[in-house]
Amino acid sequence: MRNLYSPTNVKEIFKKYKFNYKKKLGQNFLIDKNINEKIIESASISEDDIVLEIGPGLGNLTQLLCESAKKVISIEIDKDFKKIHDDLLNYDNLEIIYDDFMDIDLRKILNPYDKEKIKVVANLPYYITTPIIMKLLEEKYPVDKIVVMIQKEVAQRFASSPGGKDYGAITLTINYYTEAHYAFTVPPSVFIPQPKVSSAVVVFDVLDKPKYKVYSEEILFKVIKGAFAKRRKTFVNSLSSTFPEFEKEIIVETLKHFGLNKAIRGEKLSLEEYVKISNYLMERIH
Ligand code: SAM
């Protein structure tokens, strides 16, 4: 049976279960039914889908997921929810694991479903949005779609272009592995407690194959992370501190080969340029 919570219900539950929400765990509960339904719609959940949810909290979104998907696996760090979940979430297709998402062995959890369509749907804890998305993408779990509510300004960073102040290593990682789009904005007023910032739902369609052919993904991402580690440095200087084995001249020559200025900074380069540069450098030294 469904127990979708209104603001009054939430306060009653907090009282009954002596639950104190924890700001440090990013606990802002989404209590708007329409927005929860819009999240389900954005993820196009069907009866064939296996859904991984990070942070079910009180379980409003979880319940809608259980009603639309084949199976829901929810990972919740805060064990204080256990009694609430045991009493109020009665779904046979729901499995809740009480652990830190960053520590779990996701491959082991998802392994039984490797022939199925796996989607991640979550209203994320904002203090670890980027590490969660990096874990999902870089460790290459067999996930088809990721639909997450995140801070609006972080959503904008994910969609930013080279040279913009928000452009970063995460933008390039997302660009490499997914087709991303900004779905809709969510105001602070639909949460308890209300966050200070607006939120946004973003949809990432994970590509079967990354957009570009690379010599080595490990090197590509080492180049990207090195270039963004010290934003004030030129690309040449950042790269020569990340790869002391490269002569500076080789790096300068590589940039010249692609018609790029040797004083260029990493944040001005597109994903395609990073791919070309790292492939070219690898071919030269191997
Ligand atoms: N899904 C609920 C909703 O929409 O109302 C709660 C969302 S709340 C923004 C984030 C949830 O993530 C909280 O329940 C919090 O306890 C949980 N959480 C925080 N850090 C976590 C972590 N490292 N691993 C798993 N869950 C975490």
The 10s digit of each residue's pLDDT in 262-279 is 999 999 999 999 999 999
Q: Which residue's alpha carbon is at the smallest distance from atom 11 of ligand 1?
A: 55
- Is residue 277, in this structure, part of any structural domain at all? yes
Residues 221 and 202 grouped into a single domain:
no
Neighbours of 142 (CB within 10 A): 16
Please compute the mean of the pLDDT values over residues 93-102 and round it to a whole number: 98
Residues 116 and 70 grouped into a single domain:
yes
pLDDT the model gives residue 46 = 96
* pLDDT interval class at 158 (50, 70, 90): confident
- Is residue 2, in this structure, part of any structural domain at all? no
Please give the residue range of the domain that contains residue 25: 7-206
Residue 1 has pLDDT above 70, yes or no: no
pLDDT the model gives residue 4 = 74
- Number of domains forming the structure of the chain: 2
Q: Which residue's alpha carbon is at the smallest distance from atom 8 of ligand 1?
A: 27
Buried-exposed string 78-108: b where 16+ CB fall within 10 A, e elsewhere: bebbeebbeebbebeebebeeeebeeeebee
Q: Is 57 left (phi over 0), alpha (psi -120 to 50) or beta?
A: left
* pLDDT interval class at 197 (50, 70, 90): very high
Ligand 1 pocket, CB under 6 A: 25-30, 54-58, 60-61, 75-78, 100-102, 123, 125, 128
Tell me which of 9-18, 76-85, 106-115, 165-174 is least confident.
165-174
Environment class of 58 (CB within 10 Å of its CB; exposed 0-12, middle 13-18, buried 19+): buried
**Token output for 138:** 């870089």
Average pLDDT score over the chain: 93
CA 277, 279, 280, 282 dihedral sign is: positive
- Is residue 88, in this structure, part of any structural domain at all? yes
